[in-house]
Amino acid sequence: MWWCQMKGFAVLQVDSRCAARRGVLQTAHGPVQTPAFMPIGTAGAVKGILPDQLKILGSEMILANTYHLVIRPGVDVVEKVGGLHRFMAWDGPILTDSGGYQVFSLGSLTRIDDYGVEFASHVDGRRIYLDAETSTQVQNRLGADVIMCLDQCTPFPSQTAELETAVHRTIRWAARCKQAHRNPDQMLFAIVQGGTDLTLRTACATALQDSGFDGYAIGGLSVGEGHDLMIHTVAHTAPQLPPDRPRYLMGVGMPADILAAVRLGVDMFDCVLPTRNGRNAYAFTTHGSLRLRNSIHTEDANPVEPDCDCYTCRHYSRAAIRHFFNCGEMLGPILLSMHNIRFYQILMAQIRSAIERGIFADWADEQQQRLQWPQDETVIG
């Protein structure tokens, strides 16, 4: 098809009973089938997983973090060794976030104004300044396929005045990011902010569309507002974004969140849950959550999930994995991270297939009712 030869996005099919979309995001490093889930390689690597393994597990696009790469090893180092793709040994598509969320969640923030933010590194305390131009230039130099505008993310709950300020800054910073953007091989996505205030979400989405971007993200969610309020906000925001551009729900999430957001027309997702929970002996399965540290698995010869085709489930028992965790063997977290990533990629493939067959709405209802995935069971560590 013509769109496969150029950078951009194509919607191939929309479910007749909801807004779920089947599409393809074409990047300089190849296509990404959507809806898509991106594993997170915070500091330039998906923890414990080799790039070749990521491909076998079904991942097409991964995410790296601008904030962490600026802190160390520094953009100069990444650039000198050949750019982010070579640095990560990943020849597929990469998305980098702007660093804005980490500035507010990790850094010791010392100053924020309409020009940018000044913060202290969480590693060594040195003061670093980040503004729209700097964030964009750094991402241009890193060389990711999709880069994000700098935005101001607010905590939940926030006062209306704080949300208004953040939205106005996000809009102004996005315009400056677009002006500073210099790499035509990269797509630049803007981020819609506004907390759970629907009026502000509308204002932000409208203003960003007036400037025009390659894609649009819904940011500032999955920060404590809960599933129902998050989905209510997405239901309001997603239809206001351009139908011919990809829609990216940042930092989400649980399988139930993904199914609900796909129904509303969201195309892209990322989250730390598959690997973070895997490092903490927590497995995702089609029958619900599984904690491998529990003593019930001491002599369990079953795989994590009998019908899963991942390396972990084809070669290891629950008993063996539990033993690895209990004795501090690094293989345990690696094996469960691999399984969890595969679980997510199988889920996304099933979602795409259901949309193609025109049965997504009914299929998603069945998944939600049958599986009863927890909404708030997140392991931190």
pLDDT tens profile 12-55: 999 999 999 999 999 999 999 999 999 999 999 999 999 999 99
Residue 77 maps to a domain:
yes
**Do 77 and 153 share a structural domain?**
yes
Residue 176 maps to a domain:
yes
Residue 6 maps to a domain:
no
Q: Is residue 106 over pLDDT 60? A: yes
Choose one of 246, 271, 296: the last residue of a domain.
Answer: 271
Provide the pLDDT for residue 97.
95
In sequence order, the 6+-apart residues with CB closer than 8 A to the CB of 130 are 70, 99, 100, 103, 116, 117, 118, 119, 150
Token look-up 């599409």 returns 23
Q: How many domains does the chain have?
A: 2
**Do 228 and 330 share a structural domain?**
no
**Do 247 and 265 share a structural domain?**
yes
Choose one of 271, 293, 318: the last residue of a domain.
Answer: 271
Q: Is residue 328 over pLDDT 60? A: yes
Provide the pLDDT for residue 6.
63
pLDDT, tens digit (0-9, with 9 covering 90-100), for 68-82: 999 999 999 999 999
pLDDT, tens digit (0-9, with 9 covering 90-100), for 257-289: 999 999 999 999 999 999 999 999 999 999 889
**Do 121 and 261 share a structural domain?**
yes
Angle subtended by helix axes 318-326 and 331-356, to nearest 10: 130
Residue 375 maps to a domain:
no
**Do 308 and 224 share a structural domain?**
no
**Do 235 and 120 share a structural domain?**
yes
**Do 244 and 289 share a structural domain?**
no
Q: Is residue 3 over pLDDT 80? A: no
Provide the pLDDT for residue 378.
46
Mean pLDDT across 353-379: 79
β-pair partners for 129: 118
Provide the pLDDT for residue 120.
83
Give the residue among 263, 254, 190, 255 at the shortest CA–CA distance from 232: 263
Q: Which residues are part of the catalytic machinery?
A: 97, 270
**Do 180 and 143 share a structural domain?**
yes
Choose one of 236, 271, 306: the last residue of a domain.
Answer: 271
On average, the pLDDT of the chain sits at 93
**Do 110 and 44 share a structural domain?**
yes
pLDDT, tens digit (0-9, with 9 covering 90-100), for 304-319: 999 999 999 999 999 9
**Do 292 and 145 share a structural domain?**
no
Q: Is residue 175 over pLDDT 60? A: yes
User: CB of 9 within 8 A of CB of 215?
Assistant: yes
**Do 218 and 181 share a structural domain?**
yes
Task: Locate 273 and state its tokens.
Answer: 């849950």
| Per-residue confidence band for 108, with pLDDT thresholds at 50, 70 and 90 | low
Residue 322 maps to a domain:
yes
Residue 209: CATH number of its domain: 3.20.20.105
pLDDT, tens digit (0-9, with 9 covering 90-100), for 109-122: 668 899 998 888 88
Residue 10 maps to a domain:
no
Cis-peptide into 23, omega within 30 deg:
no
**Do 351 and 244 share a structural domain?**
no
Domain limits for position 301: 280-369
User: CB of 190 within 8 A of CB of 208?
Assistant: yes
Residue 333 maps to a domain:
yes
| Per-residue confidence band for 169, with pLDDT thresholds at 50, 70 and 90 | very high
